[in-house]
Amino acid sequence: MFTGIVECTGEVLACRAIDGGARYRIALPFAGNVKPGDSVAVNGCCLTVDELDGGSACFDLLQQTMRVTSLGTLVPGSLCNLERAVLPTTRLGGHFVSGHIDTTGVLSSISAVGQDHVLIVQVPDLRYVIDKGSISIDGVSLTIASIHQEKKELEFWITPHTWQTTIMPRYFVGMRVNVEWDILAKYAESFLLPKS
């Protein structure tokens, strides 16, 4: 479990295909505080530390992970958002983020407004979103500022701190991003749907 409050960014140092999946080596600024078997959210996707090598860690990505996330677009030199799994004593600054990516969206607009930035992300579905609700984009806990129903777009206002401490300055229009819907919305839907 994560909070969607990105701790830092890390650079992809190497990646190689393995039987439909991949093995990535990523520089981890907090490498000294994790061990093999620990969970780390990489662009919001929960990955398991397989091996540590100095200041970096190796992660094996399953075929399923490559299929449903944007991680397959990462190449050596790419930056990614990083967050360690929360402890029971961690303050929850964002919202409950499982690290299980539901879908990907596409950045349709990025603009600076004063010291802030506005992102608009087109998503395939709007059933789990509400105005001012929470969502995770590339592992960042964000509040939905506005919903554009006709284009299935979500608008987010990004604070200077979030902009500076995540990979967002490298975003570009047309880029795929990982989307995790609010887990509470998914549970609510499950409770309300008739069971067969």
Task: Note whether 172 and 128 are same-domain residues.
Answer: yes
Query: Which token pair is 3?
Result: 């909070």
Looking at residue 20, its pLDDT comes to 84
Task: Note whether 62 and 114 are same-domain residues.
Answer: no
* Cα–Cα distance measured from residue 194 to residue 196, given in angstroms and rounded to the nearest whole number: 7
Note whether residue 27 is domain-resident: yes
Task: Note whether 67 and 144 are same-domain residues.
Answer: no
Note whether residue 92 is domain-resident: no
Query: Residue 152: which domain range?
Result: 103-192
Note whether residue 96 is domain-resident: no
Task: Note whether 49 and 110 are same-domain residues.
Answer: no
Task: Note whether 80 and 117 are same-domain residues.
Answer: no
Task: Note whether 108 and 78 are same-domain residues.
Answer: no
In degrees and rounded to multiples of 5, residue 137 shows phi and psi of: -115, 115
Task: Note whether 51 and 112 are same-domain residues.
Answer: no
Task: Note whether 51 and 109 are same-domain residues.
Answer: no
Q: How many helices (H) and strands (E) does the chain have?
A: 3, 13
Note whether residue 46 is domain-resident: yes
Note whether residue 61 is domain-resident: yes
Task: Note whether 32 and 63 are same-domain residues.
Answer: yes
The number of domains in the chain is 2
In Å, what is the CA distance from 196 to each residue of 153, 185, 188, 190, 192? Answer: 33, 21, 17, 12, 12
pLDDT one digit per residue (tens) for the chain, 196 residues: 898 999 999 999 999 998 888 999 999 999 999 999 999 999 999 999 999 998 999 999 999 999 999 999 999 999 999 999 988 777 777 788 899 999 999 999 999 999 999 999 999 999 999 999 999 999 999 999 999 999 999 999 999 999 999 999 999 999 999 999 998 888 888 888 877 6
Q: Are 156 and 119 in contact (CB under 8 A)?
A: yes
Note whether residue 90 is domain-resident: no
* Cα–Cα distance measured from residue 49 to residue 156, given in angstroms and rounded to the nearest whole number: 31
CATH number at residue 158: 2.40.30.20
